[in-house]
């Protein structure tokens, strides 16, 4: 399993080449960009905007390199403009998408928050994903474990998790299998890369 909980053996994943690293990898680990009518580089986080896609790894160093080295212009074969803070804008956008997805999962009755509820779901085998706040207590987080065959992510802050669950802050959350959970895994993997987390888990039994 690679960084962010992504499977290495998903050979069915479409692949794209990152313009910053030159590496070809599954597009789930990349961010798509298009060039707007005004020549501006536009992040296409939902991958639905028209136009030829330009792909960059979900990594701040790669994004900053693409901006500072003029790699978007080279890929587009035309002069284009990329915001100096493009990496920060992409990180904020992915974080918003992740907050919204977890919120929708909660509203569908497929997510719980709070240590005891999360522990219960883990013990019952109901959890597919364990979410723990990056700024939460390591001691507390270490008392929970990654779901068997599931995923763990620690890329969200307590306030971001709180927004997802309609609270001021949340340290522990769990998502059931199905529904939007696969999309949460995708966006959480991207946010993990953008924030430089290696997902070195304090939770017991992380895969």
Q: Rounded mean pLDDT of the chain? A: 91
Tell me what pLDDT residue 13 has.
78
Tell me what pLDDT residue 199 has.
53
Tell me what pLDDT residue 137 has.
94
- Quote the CA–CA distance of 178 and 105 in Å, as a whole number: 10
**Side-chain-side CA neighbours of residue 32 (13 Å):** 18
- Quote the CA–CA distance of 207 and 70 in Å, as a whole number: 38
Return the CATH number of 15-83, one of 3.30.1230.10, 2.40.50.100, 3.40.50.300, 3.90.78.10: 3.30.1230.10
Tell me what pLDDT residue 179 has.
80
Prediction pTM value: 0.89
Tell me what pLDDT residue 32 has.
98
Length of the chain: 207
- DSSP of 63-82, one letter per residue? HHHHHHTTHHHHHHTS--B-
Q: Domain 97-195 is in which class?
A: alpha beta
3-state helix, strand, coil in the chain (%, to 5): 40, 20, 40
Q: Which residue has the tokens 């700024």?
A: 135
Distances in whole angstroms, Cα of residue 29 to Cα of each of 120, 123, 159, 183: 31, 31, 25, 13
- Quote the CA–CA distance of 94 and 25 in Å, as a whole number: 19
Q: Name 10's Cβ contacts closer than 8 Å, sequence gap at least 6.
A: 26
What does the radius of gyration of the chain's CA atoms come to, in whole angstroms?
18
Tell me what pLDDT residue 97 has.
98
Helix (H, G, I), strand (E, B) or coil at 95: helix
Cα angle for residues 117, 185, 94 (degrees, 5° grid): 110
- Quote the CA–CA distance of 185 and 188 in Å, as a whole number: 5
DSSP bridge pairs for 178: none
- Quote the CA–CA distance of 199 and 155 in Å, as a whole number: 8
User: Alpha carbon 29 to chain centroid distance?
Assistant: 9
Below-50 pLDDT ranges, the chain: 1-10, 200-202, 204-207
Q: Locate the domains of the chain by residue range.
A: 15-83, 97-195
Q: Is the CB of residue 18 less than 8 Å from the CB of residue 55?
A: yes
């Amino acid at each position: 399993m690679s960084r962010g909980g992504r499977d290495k053996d998903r050979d069915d994943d479409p692949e794209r080449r990152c313009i910053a690293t030159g590496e070809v990898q599954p597009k789930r680990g990349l961010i798509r960009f298009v060039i707007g009518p005004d020549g501006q580089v536009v992040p296409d986080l939902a991958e639905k905007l028209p136009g030829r896609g330009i792909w960059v790894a979900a990594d701040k160093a790669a994004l900053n390199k693409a901006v500072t080295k003029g790699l978007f212009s080279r890929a587009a074969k035309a002069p284009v403009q990329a915001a100096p803070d493009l990496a920060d804008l992409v990180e904020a956008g992915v974080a918003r998408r992740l907050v919204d997805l977890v919120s929708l999962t909660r509203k569908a009755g497929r997510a719980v928050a709070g240590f005891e509820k999360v522990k219960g779901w883990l013990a019952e085998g109901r959890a597919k994903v364990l979410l723990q706040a990056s700024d939460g207590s390591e001691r507390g987080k270490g008392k929970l474990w990654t779901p068997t065959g599931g995923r763990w992510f620690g890329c969200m802050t307590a306030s971001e998790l709180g927004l997802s669950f309609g609270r001021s802050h949340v340290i522990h959350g769990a998502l059931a299998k199905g529904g939007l959970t696969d999309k949460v895994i995708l966006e959480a993997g991207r946010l993990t890369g953008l924030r430089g987390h290696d997902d070195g888990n304090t939770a017991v039994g992380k895969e």
